[in-house]
Amino acid sequence: MCLASAYFNNENGQLILKDIAHLKLNGDRVEMETLFGEGTSVQGGIIEVDFFSSKIFLEQKQETVIEG
C-alpha cells in the first residue's frame, strides 16, 4: 500500500505530513490524517496530486498549520 505525502509548493518543498490515509477539503482548509490517526489542517488549497509518486502539493494561504 502506498500512502501519500503532502508538501508545500514553495522553493524548498517543505514536507507537511507523510503516510496520509485520508484527505478532506473543508472550505478553505485541507484536513489530512495518517493511517495512525495523526492529523494536520492547513489553510490553503490543493495545487497538484501526483498519484504516480504519491505526492500532494498544497498552497498555503496563511502561516498557520494546526496539529490535531
pLDDT grade for 42, boundaries at 50, 70 and 90:
very high
Which three-class secondary structure state does DSSP give residue 53? coil
Q: Decide if pLDDT at 64 tops 70.
A: no
Reported confidence tier of residue 62, pLDDT bands at 50, 70, 90 = low
Cα-Cα-Cα-Cα torsion 16, 7, 37, 1, nearest 10 degrees, comes to -140
**Domain coordinates of the chain in residue numbers?**
4-67
pTM over 0.85: no
What's the pLDDT band for 2 if we cut at 50, 70, 90?
A: confident
For 4-67, CATH gives 2.30.30
Structural contact between residues 21 and 35, judged by C-beta atoms closer than 8 angstroms: yes
Angle subtended at Cα 56 by Cα 54 and Cα 62, rounded to the nearest 5 degrees? 160
